[in-house]
A = this chain, B = another copy of it.
Amino acid sequence: MGTGATGTAIRAAALELFAARGYEGTTMADIGAAVGIRGPSLYKHVASKQDLLVELMTTTMDGLLELQRVALAGTADPVERLRRAVDAHVRFHARHRLEAFVGASEMRSLAEPHRGTVLGKRAEYERSFRRLVEEGVAAGRFRVPSARLASYAILDLGMGLATWYREEGELSENEVVWQQTEFALRLVGAG
């Protein structure tokens, strides 16, 4: 059944190229060259260029949602719930910066119906964060002018990592995660 390793290598190369040059700016020949084969040979492993993007974006959103689900399971305290959700959010963006960057900037290149699906997952993710803030406000633990704006701010905090975070940077993943979580809690007035 072959090694199957090439399929993974192709997806990894596509991710890196989509992040660096954009979906439209990346050719199948580019992706092929990155794994040592010609463009047309790619079609022995993947159905189409669009398929590469679809799979990349849906698995990214699924991973993010799953991580959040796990982080929130079995915890009732609003402050602790937000802390865990932000931890998962930031950690995911640190570990998958390229996926996050492509996910945010290439939504337009995603064809229907997948575009709608991914947008739906993203809306669900955001709604979940807003609810976390509202829970904290209702419990008298947070103090914010607008739960919507606060949740957007927290989401943006983590998504920003996609731009500036580097694994080789001077700050470790844990340090960044801790500080961003601290920022998020200060932001909602739970410091």
Contact = CB atoms under 8 A, between A and B. Distances in A.
Interface in A85-117: 104-105, 108-109
A162 to B, nearest CB: 10
A153 B182 contact: no
A43 interface: no
Interface residues of A, number: 35
A112 to B, nearest CB: 14
Contacts of A179: 145-146, 149
A130 to B, nearest CB: 12
Contact of A108 (B25, B155, B175, B187): B25
Most buried by B among A155, A160, A178: A160
Interface of A: 20-22, 24-25, 104-105, 108-109, 145-146, 148-150, 152-153, 155-157, 159-160, 163-164, 171, 175-176, 178-180, 182-183, 186-187, 189, 191
12 contacts: A20-B108, A25-B109, A145-B179, A146-B175, A148-B171, A149-B180, A149-B183, A156-B156, A156-B163, A159-B160, A183-B187, A186-B186
